[in-house]
Structure 1
Amino acid sequence: MTRLLHIIASPRDEASHSNTLAKAYLETRRKVDPGVTVDTIHLWHAKLPEFDGDKAAAKMTFFGVGSMDDTRQSAWDQIVDITERFRQADEYVFAVPMWNGGVPYKLKQYIDLITQPGLLFGFDPERGYFGLLENKRATVFYTAGVFAPGVESKYGEDFHSTYLNWWLKTIGVNDIDAVRLQPSLLTADPAGDQAAAVKRAENLATTRFQ
């Protein structure tokens, strides 16, 4: 049985283009693989904790800075609980709109919470950072209102897919597929472009698991 973690980074629910694409993918995914189980984290409803001073101090003990007292251990246990839900998944599906050239801050908060030494990555002075996850795959649905790959810089820059791809590979997820709807507003046929992107999402779910 495949465990799939669906991570929603848009607060716009049914009005979100990225959510629409992810929904189309998941509906088809369930048809081609009825044994898949889907766990959904809506980051705007998840009530994520702050990565505060106690959590930061607990993290630094893994690099030899300070010691893990009861307060820091309690803070670290909270991080472990959140991260374990992520670690247990076999596959990740992200719905990610572009905000100001990058990812929504709720997704960045989630990434900052779970990207911890000994949980998602390791570090060695010679080797550098290395991912601890193995045999995981990710499908990411990227949307943007104006930016599109290859456009002039006056229409924006991509710290969106570049950042998320870097992070996934840093934690050990190298099998990555992406579907884009960019731009989703300033086009001659927005509805047609969305329909085509939905079809790409459905086809990806079908062809990937034949």
Structure 2
Amino acid sequence: MTRLLYIKSSPRGAASRSTALADAYLTALQGRIDDLAVDTLDLSATRLPDYDGDKVAAKMTVITGQAHDAAQKTAWDEITEMAGRFIAADIYLIATPMWNGSIPYRLKQYIDLIHQPGLLWTLDPASGYAGLLTGKRAVLALTAGAFGPDMPSPAFGVDHQSSYLRFWLNQAGVTDIDILRFQPSLLTADPEAAFQQAVQTAVQAAGQVPHTPAGQPAARTA
């Protein structure tokens, strides 16, 4: 079985173009991977715990190799449960709009909660960070109102969206990353035609994933 974690970041529900773009990719991918198991995490409909003092203290305790106290253990157990759901996936499909040049705050909060030492990464004083996730694939379905890769920057925005998500995933060990874009979504002569072109690109990207019969994992590159 191939496990896919579908992370929706937009609070706009059916009106979200990033979600619609990711949906198109997912539908096409389901035709390629017979045993694809989809776990959907809608961040706008999910209660995320605060990344509070106990959780920060628990993280620092892990980094320094000390033992958790009772409050820290409770906080760390909550983090470990959330991170375990992420770690269990083989493919990450992340749908997110661009907010103020970056990502929605709930997606950042989720990343801050799960991106923890001993779970997604380690830190060596001599060599630096090393990701603990291996053999994973990520697909980013990205939208933006005014920004686009061919638009003048910073006049029409700056891409801290894909660059940050790449940085985060790379630090966790995920380097096989595909990016799907509907950008810009507003400053285009025919938004619907542009969106349909983005959907076709998403379907084509899913078509490049090797067909996998039931019972065999999807081919991946690290």
TM tier relative to shorter chain = over 0.9
C-alpha deviation, 1:150, in angstroms: 3.6
Is residue 57–residue 66 contact of structure 1 (8 Å, CA) maintained in 2? Answer: no
Q: Paired residue for 1:189?
A: 190
Does the CA-based 8 Å contact 2:29-2:209 persist in structure 1?
no
Counterpart in 2 of 1:138?
A: 138
Deviation at 1:186, TM superposition (A): 1.1
Residue deviations 1:28-50 (CA, integer Å, cap 9, x gap)? 11112121000000001110000
After superposition, what is the alpha-carbon deviation per residue over 1:6-31, rounded to whole angstroms, capped at 9, x for unaligned?
00011111111100110011111111
Aligned residues: 210
Aligned partners of 1:205 and 1:81: how far apart in 2? Answer: 30
Aligned to 1:44: 44
Unaligned stretches of 5+ in structure 1? none
Which TM-score applies when normalising by structure 1?
Answer: 0.97
In the alignment, is the contact (CA less than 8 A) between 2:32 and 2:209 conserved in 1?
Answer: no
Q: Secondary structure at the match of 2:208?
A: helix
State the 1:67 CA deviation.
Answer: 4.2
Give the Cα separation in 2 of the matches to 1:207 and 1:58: 42
Task: Please show how residues 12-161 of structure 1 align to structure 2 within 5 Å.
Answer: 12-64=12-64, 67-152=67-152, 153-161=154-162
Matched residue type, 1:105? Y
Determine helix, strand or coil for the equivalent of 2:45: coil
Q: Deviations over 1:113-171 (max 9, x none)?
A: 00000000000011101100000000111100100114221111111100000000000
Report the TM-score, using the length of structure 2 for normalisation: 0.92
Contact 2:58–2:75 (CA under 8 A) maintained in structure 1: yes
Deviates more, 1:74-83 or 1:143-152: 143-152
Unaligned runs of 5+ in 2: 212-222
Which digits, 9 at most, give the CA deviation of each residue in 1:53-107, with x for residues without a partner?
1111111012228641111101100000000000000000000100000000000
Instruction: Please identify, of 67-76 and 101-110, the stretch whose mean Cα deviation from structure 2 is larger.
Output: 67-76
Q: Distance in 1 between matches of 2:179 and 2:155?
A: 24
**SS of match in other structure, 2:95:** strand
- Could you say what secondary structure the match of 1:48 adopts? coil
Aligned to 2:171: 170
Q: Tell me the SS of whatever aligns to 1:149.
A: coil
Following the alignment from structure 1 to structure 2, what is the Cα–Cα distance between the partners of residues 133 and 16? 29
